[in-house]
Amino acid sequence: MSEPKTKVLAAPFEDWVADVEPELRRDEARALDILFRGVTGFEAQVWTGGIVGYGAYDYTYASGRSGTWMATGFAPRKAKLSVYIMPGYADFAPILNRLGPHSKGKSCLYITRLARVDMDVLGELIAAGLRDLATYWPVRDRA
C-alpha cells in the first residue's frame, strides 16, 4: 500500500502559524488552537496540507487499509476555516443549529468567519466529535 500523503510535521504550531496568511486567518488559527487545546487536552500537531490536529487514532478499514489520523483539528484556508470532526458519522444537528453560520461536508465543518459562530458551541461540538470517535477507535494524545 502507498504511504499516506498527509503526515505530521516536526514544525511547532507557533512557528507554523506565524506564516498563515491573511492575518485574520492567523488570528483565527491562534484562537482555534486555544479552544482545541482547552477542549481536548491535547497539544497541536501540524500536518502536511496546512492542517492542525489534536490527538490521533489508528484505523483499519474492512478493505485492509490502515493508518493514523488526527482525532480532531482545523485548517485555516483562505476562503473558509475547515474544522474536522472525525469520523463524521454522528448527527450533531442539535449542536450545529446553535453554532452560527456554517456549511458542512462528511467530516468537515466550514466557517467563513470565526467571529460569527458561538465559540462555546464550537467547543461543545469538538467534544461531542471526540466522544463519537472514541466509540469507533481509541483516541490518544499524539500521532
pTM comes to 0.93
Domain 13-139, CATH 3.90.1150.200 — does that match? yes
Q: What is the pLDDT of residues 29-56, one digit of tens each?
A: 999 999 999 999 999 999 999 999 999 9
Per-chain mean pLDDT for the chain: 94
Q: How many residues in total does the chain contain? A: 143
> Band of the pLDDT at 86, cuts 50, 70, 90?
confident
What pLDDT is stored for residue 45 in this prediction? 98
β-partners of residue 73 are 53, 84
Percentage of the chain beyond pLDDT 70 is 97
CA-CA distance, 120 to 9, in Å (whole number)? 29
- Mean pLDDT value of segment 85-101: 90
CA-CA distance, 109 to 122, in Å (whole number)? 10
Residue 1 has pLDDT above 80, yes or no: no
> Band of the pLDDT at 3, cuts 50, 70, 90?
low
